[in-house]
């Protein structure tokens, strides 16, 4: 750093090397605010979906347009959290197996619908395996949404909407770039 002879630098030489240009500090603050804002928006989608689903008397009331918009945001968020496609595909496969076994017949579904709650403890186990001390892990937001959704399945129509919900999450996660890892 060269000084002009007419303008002395007010800082001692040892302090000059640690100076950060003011624009750099403001850019770093701005970037950190953007990251925090994005993180808050992403966490909000999980909380908003949980609140929306919890407010329904049955999952069939979850309007398709809203479901699609919400799952698009959630799929991107899950991708950003590094959720692996095979983790959610396993869950979707379990849902489809249940659908194939039970949902074809309304009476059979009614007799066995409580077995759907088995998926809740499977989600809890998957989420617990992924968490650490600082971060609940990438499965936790997925678990939060689907756990409340499973509780709202009371009939075949609710179950069919639940299947659409899971399929939509998987599709949007994939569209965001999700892949098996």
Other beta carbons within 10 Å of 171? 16
180 within domain boundaries: no
Give the three-state DSSP class for 113.
helix
26 within domain boundaries: no
Q: Please state which of the ranges 58-72, 88-102, 108-122, 128-142 shows the lowest mean pLDDT.
A: 128-142
128 within domain boundaries: yes
161 within domain boundaries: yes
Distance (Å, rounded) from C-alpha 106 to C-alpha 68? 26
- Say if CB 123 and CB 146 are below 8 A apart: yes
Cα end-to-end distance, the chain, whole Å: 49
Residue 28 has pLDDT above 70, yes or no: no
Torsion angle defined by CA atoms of residues 71, 72, 75 and 77, in that order, rounded to the nearest 10 degrees: -110
Q: Which two tokens stand for residue 144?
A: 């939060």
57 within domain boundaries: yes
**In this predicted structure, what is the pLDDT of residue 27?**
60
Question: How does pLDDT run across 50-79, given as a tens digit for each residue?
Answer: 999 999 999 999 999 999 999 999 999 999
170 within domain boundaries: yes
92 within domain boundaries: yes
- Percent of the chain past pLDDT 70, that is, above it, reads 72
31 within domain boundaries: no
**Domain count along the chain:** 1
Burial of 66 (0-12, 13-18, 19+ CB in 10 A): exposed
Q: Which two tokens stand for residue 120?
A: 């809740």
Domain that holds residue 166: 39-175
């Amino acid at each position: 750093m060269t000084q002009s002879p007419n303008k002395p630098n007010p800082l001692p030489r040892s302090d000059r090397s640690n100076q950060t240009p003011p624009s750099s500090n403001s850019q770093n603050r701005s970037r950190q605010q953007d990251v925090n804002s994005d993180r808050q928006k992403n966490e909000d989608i999980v909380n908003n979906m949980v609140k929306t689903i919890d407010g329904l008397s049955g999952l069939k009331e979850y309007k398709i347009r809203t479901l699609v918009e919400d799952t698009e945001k959630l799929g991107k968020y899950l991708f950003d959290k590094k959720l692996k496609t095979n983790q959610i595909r396993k869950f979707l496969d379990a849902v489809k197996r249940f659908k194939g076994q039970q949902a074809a017949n309304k009476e059979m579904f009614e007799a066995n619908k409580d077995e759907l709650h088995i998926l809740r403890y499977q989600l809890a186990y998957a989420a617990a395996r992924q968490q650490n001390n600082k971060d609940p892990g990438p499965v936790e937001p997925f678990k939060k949404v689907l756990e409340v959704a499973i509780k709202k399945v009371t009939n075949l129509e609710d179950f069919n909407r639940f299947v659409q919900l899971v399929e939509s999450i998987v599709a949007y996660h994939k569209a965001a770039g999700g892949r098996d890892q």
